[in-house]
A and B are shown apart, each in its own frame.
Chain A
């Protein structure tokens, strides 16, 4: 018997209102991602990538269709259930890093442990991850004292500290120079290989997409 997919999307639709018009951001999207896969989703602006990202991350509910994350159906989840899903099952990496500016790098990670009701101490395995990410010696610095690449690595550490089933990355190299982009993509690749982390990366960059084990394209709200 084959293992259930980590992400399963069936006939997914999302319509939202922009002024006086209805925007059909997703129109019957279907997708399956197995556990441990590193998948990239590419597509032009307005193709529905970010909407799919937001739905898979339980940041916004779908209009219709089925979305299962690690076997859990997102349809009909209450706000607090979606909060629990974000806390326990999904880790986010954003294009703009989205670190809390008032906290140090270390505290940006610890606050996620605290919210997830985990012990706010780094175990040896996670310290090794920090070494792999190359930020172990930058933990006491505030985001403004870190380079873009370093901030993105802190964001990756934050995203995986609670051991989420899925890592969702939205244009993780969009704000980085080529050297830092390569470093971050190598890290994601490394995390996928070493830790078996399931990763779904949204990108419009073909080179970034090539780091994934499978590339998916979106157009007009559908996966093609």
Chain B
């Protein structure tokens, strides 16, 4: 019966109910979209790293997992690494961040192709000149690039030589020496990829390299990709924490306003309920149930809205932003929304429960 009253109350003011649900939905969408983009970006990076075909990665001393450093390592290291026992191939790359989430990677195409199996071109082919660049399908689609198109990047004119299937190393690649010169890092590298002559020798090779290059973060690709998680990236973790905090405040304010208005508007009805013997806990229960229902509806709507944001990102910025559906965060986002909403309902609830029946009944 009390649930019937809850539904009747929410149905009595449909606009307020819909607005409250939407506000909670936006809160949930905000959390799930941020988490989805974080997972998507990290997973995309991991997938492309695995696509290189390397077994071991050497990064510059002091670099972070996601750090897009310039090129502090000397190119001579590649030769040194290549001479180590059980090394089949070693090759280095330079990464230069661009605006937003983009970056451009310089690579030596021959050893890279041997290591990774080569790019699979959907249009055109590998670069032939120092002005040539190749882009993956998502970047090409986002920037509407086709073979032969010309564009400016890092103060250099480029021609699109090919569009390749995504999943290998980077989204935009150019010749290694060209990017080294353009970024003022001749003969220097951002990272080195190493392929062992046999999977059985990876651990032995890893130990040897760590001995040979103390201070350099050296990972197996398995280790590196496993480190690409939200918990390993402190900045991302803190950012998500801040967004969740903002979301809770938004939920709190929205529900506080909605419930406070509802309590004022229903002063007389609360008086009626008290006159017929409803206890304060009944009144509180009524309001909390309404809040809970709003939160659940808001959470479901918010989850559905994340598919809309996912679609928008896929079509508007497929190369920059990848949003994954992170099912494990659905209950977390729901709990956050419910907690914020219930917090928002406490003060109006207490106000309603404390109302004097005689005063409430004389309220016009």
Q: Give chain A's interface residues, CB within 8 Å of chain B.
A: 54, 57, 59-60, 79-80, 83-84, 86-88, 92, 94, 98-103, 107, 110-116, 120, 158
Residue of A nearest to B271 (CB): A98
Cα–Cα distance between A79 and B281 once the two chains are bound (Å): 12
Which of B1, B12, B361 is in CB contact (< 8 Å) with A111?
A: B1
Residue of A nearest to B277 (CB): A87
Contact A100 B277 (CB under 8 A): no
Q: Give chain B's interface residues, CB within 8 Å of chain A.
A: 1-2, 4-5, 8-9, 11-12, 268-269, 271-280, 282, 356-358, 361
Q: Quote the shortest CB–CB distance from A36 to chain B (angstroms).
A: 23
Contact B8 A102 (CB under 8 A): yes
Can you name 18 extra interface pairs (CB under 8 A) apart from A83-B278, A86-B277, A111-B1? A54-B358, A57-B275, A59-B275, A59-B357, A59-B358, A59-B361, A83-B277, A86-B275, A87-B277, A98-B361, A102-B11, A103-B4, A107-B1, A107-B4, A115-B273, A115-B278, A115-B282, A120-B1
Which of A60, A86, A94, A120 is in CB contact (< 8 Å) with B356?
A: A60
Q: Quote the shortest CB–CB distance from A168 to chain B (angstroms).
A: 10
Contact B276 A60 (CB under 8 A): no
Contact B277 A103 (CB under 8 A): no
Q: Quote the shortest CB–CB distance from A77 to chain B (angstroms).
A: 14
Residue of B nearest to A55 (CB): B358
A-B residue pairs in contact (CB < 8 Å), sample of 7: A57-B275, A59-B275, A87-B276, A87-B278, A88-B277, A98-B361, A102-B9
Cα–Cα distance between A102 and B9 once the two chains are bound (Å): 6
Cα–Cα distance between A114 and B285 once the two chains are bound (Å): 14
Cα–Cα distance between A60 and B274 once the two chains are bound (Å): 12
Residue of B nearest to A116 (CB): B277
Secondary structure class of chain A's binding surface, majority of residues: helix
Which of A79, A94, A111, A113 is in CB contact (< 8 Å) with B5?
A: A111
Cα–Cα distance between A112 and B276 once the two chains are bound (Å): 6
Cα–Cα distance between A202 and B291 once the two chains are bound (Å): 39
User: Which B residues lie within 8 Å of A60 (CB)?
Assistant: 356-358
User: Which A residues lie within 8 Å of B2 (CB)?
Assistant: 114
Q: A107-B1, A111-B1, A120-B1 are in contact. Are A102 and B275 (CB under 8 A)?
A: no
Contact B276 A115 (CB under 8 A): yes
Contact B9 A158 (CB under 8 A): no
Contact B5 A92 (CB under 8 A): no
Chain B CB within 10 Å, residue with most, of A79, A111, A113, A114: A111
User: Which B residues lie within 8 Å of A88 (CB)?
Assistant: 277
Contact A110 B1 (CB under 8 A): yes
Q: Quote the shortest CB–CB distance from B16 to chain A (angstroms).
A: 13
Q: Quote the shortest CB–CB distance from A67 to chain B (angstroms).
A: 15
Contact A84 B277 (CB under 8 A): yes
User: Which B residues lie within 8 Å of A115 (CB)?
Assistant: 273, 276-278, 282
Question: Which 9 pairs show the lowest CB-CB distances between chains A and B?
Answer: A87-B277, A102-B8, A114-B1, A102-B12, A86-B277, A98-B272, A59-B357, A112-B276, A59-B358
Q: A101-B269, A111-B1 are in contact. Are A83 and B279 (CB under 8 A)?
A: yes
Residue of B nearest to A84 (CB): B277
Cα–Cα distance between A94 and B268 once the two chains are bound (Å): 12
Cα–Cα distance between A101 and B12 once the two chains are bound (Å): 9
Cα–Cα distance between A19 and B196 once the two chains are bound (Å): 91
User: Which A residues lie within 8 Å of B269 (CB)?
Assistant: 100-102
Q: Quote the shortest CB–CB distance from B356 to chain A (angstroms).
A: 7
User: Which B residues lie within 8 Å of A54 (CB)?
Assistant: 358
Cα–Cα distance between A54 and B271 once the two chains are bound (Å): 13
User: Which A residues lie within 8 Å of B271 (CB)?
Assistant: 98
Cα–Cα distance between A119 and B9 once the two chains are bound (Å): 23
